[in-house]
A and B are shown apart, each in its own frame.
Chain A
Amino acid sequence: MKARALVATLILALLAPAAAAGEQASLTEIEKQVMCPVCGTLLQLAESPQAQRERVFINRLIDEGRSEAEIKDALVAEYGDEVLALPPDSGFSLSAYVVPIVALLVAAVALAIGVLRWRRAGGGSGSDKPGARPAGPSERDSERLDADLARYDL
């Protein structure tokens, strides 16, 4: 039992630094999440002098051991919220996430109401009963059809 506990402790001790190293920020990952403010593109795609300075800035913070979130905060402090590829989920920027969902819900409700009204008005089949067959022509229409056909010598 003691041996098992010792092995488990050793494994955890060996894995801990690896896990910590995995959390280290990387330029490649951050480049996908931030913009080059001058170019108006993802930093990943930018090659302007400003983009190069931004990379130097990020690399310096990585070397200082800052986390990804801390580096993004530092970029926001320098360039404002616009430097983030995705807007923050707070304040007015929250509307970027909420508005499409609300718009989708409103559209779905409007569509549902429209379909219900259409069905109540007897749209399509002319009957509310599911699977009902289309109604035939009225008696008056049948008489008119017979009269029209009678004029032709078929």
Chain B
Amino acid sequence: MIAVLGVLAVVGLLVFGLAIKGGSGLEVGDPVPTSALPELEGGGSQSLADYRGRWVLVNFWASWCEPCRAEAPALEKFQRQHRGPGFAVLGIDTRDLSGDGRDFVREYGLSYPQLRDGNGGAAHDYGTTGVPETFLVDPKGKLRLHFPGPVSEETLESSVAPLLPEGKS
């Protein structure tokens, strides 16, 4: 009996370990995770739930990632052109040193909010496989588009802009 309990305990721990480590890729239409993350600058925190009712372009990036550097100007330009009460861009600096992340934001003059995901937990919850990855979330908090890899101005204008509320952005 004791041996059986021991075996069950070990199997239970293995299953628990696999469950918390396993990937959880998001599908279009799935509700996106809303865990709060600390802001990259300042002591506050934000959650995607704070953006409910708006379209949000969530961009996972890191300062050590070259493709992230390549796409940063496009994201900044897009948000300047379309920001408004119905749309926001949200950056999430993942598995990065906070100082490097802040330098990156200053270097590219990024004006949209930036959150920090030091241990990569949020990136894991979104099912990312690397950086950069970008997700368009609708006003109900559901995933509408997913861009694995860097996005360009053209991609954003052709895929994201048409979905945004007319005249509000």
Binding site for B on A (CB under 8 A): 37-38, 48-50, 52-54, 57, 77-83, 95, 99, 103, 106-107, 109-110, 113-114
Size class of the contact patch on chain B: 20 to 34
Known A-B contacts A38-B95, A54-B97, A103-B9; A49 and B65 likewise in contact (beta carbons under 8 Å)? yes
Q: Which residues of B contact A49 (CB under 8 A)?
A: 64-66
The reply to whether B64 and A79 form a contact with Cβ atoms under 8 Å apart is: no
Contact of B3 among A50, A57, A107 (CB under 8 A): A107
Task: Let me know if B43 is at the binding interface, CB within 8 A.
Answer: no
Q: What separation, in Å, do the CA atoms of A110 and B20 have in the docked complex?
A: 30
Closest to B119 in A: A80
The reply to whether A114 and B9 form a contact with Cβ atoms under 8 Å apart is: no
Interface centre among A48, A50, A57, A79 (most CB of B within 10 A): A50
Task: Let me know if B98 is at the binding interface, CB within 8 A.
Answer: yes
The reply to whether B118 and A106 form a contact with Cβ atoms under 8 Å apart is: no
Tell me, rounded to whole Å, the shortest Cβ–Cβ distance linking B69 to chain A. 11
The reply to whether A103 and B3 form a contact with Cβ atoms under 8 Å apart is: no
Q: Which residues of B contact A78 (CB under 8 A)?
A: 97-98, 118
Tell me, rounded to whole Å, the shortest Cβ–Cβ distance linking B114 to chain A. 16
Q: What separation, in Å, do the CA atoms of A57 and B96 have in the docked complex?
A: 11
Known A-B contacts A49-B64, A50-B64, A78-B97; A103 and B119 likewise in contact (beta carbons under 8 Å)? no
Q: Which residues of B contact A48 (CB under 8 A)?
A: 64
The reply to whether A109 and B2 form a contact with Cβ atoms under 8 Å apart is: yes
Closest to B10 in A: A103
Q: What separation, in Å, do the CA atoms of A74 and B97 have in the docked complex?
A: 10
Closest to B65 in A: A49
Interface centre among B9, B63, B100, B118 (most CB of A within 10 A): B118
Q: Which residues of B contact A79 (CB under 8 A)?
A: 95, 118-119
The reply to whether B118 and A80 form a contact with Cβ atoms under 8 Å apart is: yes
Tell me, rounded to whole Å, the shortest Cβ–Cβ distance linking B37 to chain A. 12
